[in-house]
Amino acid sequence: MTNKFNTGLTYFVTLVLLSSLVITPVSISNSYWGYAFAEELTTETSIEYTVQLLMQHQLNLQQQKQQQKQQQNQPLKQQQKQQQNQSLKKQQKQ
């Protein structure tokens, strides 16, 4: 008799535990939906956002390249100005 009782009790406890594994998350999840998702994500919005990010990144890269070129050209421009000044001084002396 106790063996049948223990087996029945074991099945009952197992059934309660397994059902709670499924029922609890499902019942709780509905109360968090309003907080978890601020905006519905659609394919169109995600593509637009990705394109916008890529364009911004490309623009940033172009600006960085321009700045680097300007920084590299500054010493060359200074050298050219110095050479022009020197040539002007030579011409003025003559």
CA neighbor of 48 nearest in space, from 37, 38, 59, 56: 56
Distance CA 94, CA 91 (A): 5
Q: What is the pLDDT along the chain (94 residues), one digit of tens a residue?
A: 678 888 999 999 999 999 999 888 877 776 666 665 556 666 666 788 888 889 999 999 999 988 888 877 777 667 777 777 777 777 776 6
Distance CA 50, CA 47 (A): 5
